[in-house]
Amino acid sequence: MESANINIKMDTELAKDAEAVFEGIGLNMASAVTVFAKAAVRTGSIPFDLMIDPFDRKEHQDELARRVADYESGKSQMIKTTIEELEMELHG
């Protein structure tokens, strides 16, 4: 089998973090990219869902900041509820 050299540019910190993850599961960067490429070829697509992280959206960040400010000012309280308590409310 002939090998091809592929050069990839990415953020240095991202590369270090990714290498640490891959190392933790016994892969190096080249092996991880090969696994990704094989999965893409096998499925005919990117082998995972691509979506925007909802917390990256400005309106969500603004809402979160507003809620934290309300909590810190005493305007609202944090409510701790267990699954059992919610089920009791719903089903009596």
Radius of gyration of the chain (CA): 22
User: What percent of the chain has pLDDT above 70?
Assistant: 97
Q: In this structure, which amino acid lies at residue 46?
A: I
Contact in structure between 36 and 47 (CB atoms under 8 Å): yes
Q: How far is CA 68 from each of CA 24, 39, 65, rounded to the nearest angstrom?
A: 36, 41, 5
Quote the pTM value. Answer: 0.55
In the numeric block, the tokens 């960040």 are attached to 61
The residue extents of the domains of the chain are 1-50, 54-91
66 or 28, higher pLDDT: 28
For 12-30, write each residue's pLDDT tens digit.
999 999 999 999 999 999 9
